[in-house]
A and B are shown apart, each in its own frame.
Chain A
Amino acid sequence: MVSTRDLYAEDRNVYAYRCPKCGVLYHPAPMVCKGCRNRRDPSEAVFPDFEKVPMGGPCRLLSWTRIYALPEGIDRPSIAFGIVEFDNGLRAAGQLMVADPQSGARLIAKSGLVRELVGRDFYGLQLFEA
């Protein structure tokens, strides 16, 4: 079974997953389509896998925070997080790279290095001013 942990993947992209049967997009990857119950198979041994669709581009900031007690692997005095909605309705969390964020603002999401732990880099969505 292939890991679903695409943040560790060498291509460093963040993906949404499209059900090959009904076309619904998910992030993160489920193991079954909520609507049509089509099974996802990362190994493609039994069923075709869901289509991996790189995430990024224009989005809208729904809410955000900035925290000052940081977890391991983030070497900054503070870090901001936001939840965004893309134009196709898909939602995601990401690191907010905006000095003065405002809920409702238009942003651009890109994949980038979000966290460094010993022996492992994490890539995820970073949210920039549009």
Chain B
Amino acid sequence: MRQVGIVGIGHTKFGRMDFDLVDIMSWAALEAMKDAGITDGIDQVFVANMGGSAINHQTGIASSLVSRIFLEPAMAELIENGPASGSSAVKCGYMAIASGMADVVLVVGGERMREVTGWKATDFVATLSHPDAEYAYGLTLPAFAGIFARAYVERYGLTEKHLATLAVKAHRNASLNPFAHIEESATLSGIWDGPHRDVVNPIMADPLRLYDFCPVSDGAAAVVLCGLDVASRFTKHVPVRIAGIGQATDTHCVHNRADMLDLKAVRMAAERAYAMAGIGPKEISLAELHDAFLILEVAESEEVGFFERGQAKAAIERGETEVTGRIPINTSGGLKAKGHPVGATGVSQIHELVKQLRGQAEAGRQVAEPKFGLAVNFGGFGNNVVATILAKE
């Protein structure tokens, strides 16, 4: 099969952006094209977005974006796969090039969620759950995270301190990332064992607290993909190769899983990506794991094979997932602190891996000599997951 690489990356700052959704995505797209050293020559555009129609009352976003940055007559489609839309769009870009239908593909993911109130944004994301058996009850994604976390804590003995330690890590990494939504550091004494913990870090979805959750963010990220056989057109950067992509689905309703802690789609997506790349978890230098809720970073790190089930807590205690640790996780700050504009997230994860593999991450969060990076983009509450492995050429 034709090899595919990434030759350009672009990103807006995540946070609140009082601009039109397509303007936000266009900015990231133009940054990626600038990084690739091109102003045209895009054969196909894939746009990842989840809430354009529900939140922004806007449809036909892919066509709008192409016209806004004068890429006509490029082919263009919108990819909606819930919070995994970004990685799904990258996968579509990969397939378009691997199949020979396109040589150069632009993938843009973006969202403008802060146009509505926080609860409306939460409600919009909750519409991905089952309409009768979940959504109608008022079950939100944070509620599923709380249910999952309680089961995990009761089975494996994870503590609030473990999650607070991950929050401190996420904030520290985000504070070094110029694109991150959250710019402030956090301390254990502030959010875990300080006298004002219940004010600073209140329970939101018992047993999870405020600092266990991602913020609601606006923002966009973009990448330019090309066939490695035509990569000589791009001279600014050595391409980062897409070594493996895996995807898997699981039951729509969380209650229909034999074991609610078994994130089968995460495990299978990772296994498929490893098989395609011809490597295993031990070869991975760093990972961006979908931590909309910090409990997911814990569980996903086990499902992708970094740690045995129930052993992530010991790795947290040993600092193994810090930037300088054995397997750095979420050097960008993760969704937890970099932010989570849902359609942008999967593309943003790829952006971070490319930056790390090029050695361009900011001081204090650059991983030493990375060779392979893994991204896990988690759709629904684990019912549609995409894993992507990038390799330094």
Contacts and interface: CB of A to CB of B under 8 A. Distances in A.
Q: Is the interface of B mostly helix, strand, loop or mixed?
A: helix
29 contacts: A6-B132, A7-B136, A28-B133, A28-B253, A64-B146, A65-B143, A65-B145, A65-B147, A65-B150, A65-B207, A67-B205, A68-B202, A68-B203, A68-B205, A69-B118, A69-B122, A69-B140, A71-B119, A72-B120, A81-B138, A81-B146, A82-B147, A83-B254, A83-B255, A91-B256, A103-B151, A103-B154, A114-B137, A115-B138
Contacts of B207: 65
A31 interface: no
B16 interface: no
A72 B123 contact: yes
| Size range of the chain B interface in the assembly | 35 or more
A64 B147 contact: yes
| Size range of the chain A interface in the assembly | 35 or more
A81 B151 contact: no
Q: Is the interface of A mostly helix, strand, loop or mixed?
A: strand
Interface in A64-122: 64-74, 79-83, 91-95, 103, 114-115, 122
A95 to B, nearest CB: 6
Interface in A1-45: 4-7, 27-28
Given A65-B147, A65-B205, A83-B255, A70 B118 contact: no
Interface of A: 4-7, 27-28, 62-74, 79-83, 91-95, 103, 114-115, 122, 124-125
Given A71-B126, A72-B119, A115 B150 contact: no
B202 A83 contact: no
A80 to B, nearest CB: 8
Contacts of A67: 140, 142-143, 146, 204-206
A62 B260 contact: yes
A8 to B, nearest CB: 8
A115 B140 CA distance: 13
A66 B154 CA distance: 16
Given A63-B260, A93-B254, A69 B119 contact: yes
